[in-house]
Amino acid sequence: MELILKEGEIGLVQDTKIIGCLYNVFRDNKDLGIAIYLEDDNHGEGFFKITTRNGQNVRTVFVVDEWKIL
């Protein structure tokens, strides 16, 4: 519920979300790194980091309150 309340909050940096674009993402003023904005079958649209583990692509979901397009 906290994330929903923070989206659109005045003073937060929330650039336009575009599927396939890279963003620098933040949560509670902490820089979480670089994420890609994607649509996922399980999670819907969101910010993800894709890594390879044991030959498999693994998606890590980021819960963020600020995002800056790169």
Specify the number of domains making up the chain: 1
Residue range 8-52, pLDDT digits in tens: 677 889 999 999 999 999 999 999 999 999 998 888 999 999 999
Rounded to two decimals, the pTM is 0.81
Domain residue limits at 54: 2-69
Where does the pLDDT of residue 2 fall: very low under 50, low under 70, confident under 90, or very high at 90 and above? low
Q: Calculate the alpha carbon distances from 2 to 7, 8, 9, 20 in Å.
A: 9, 12, 11, 25
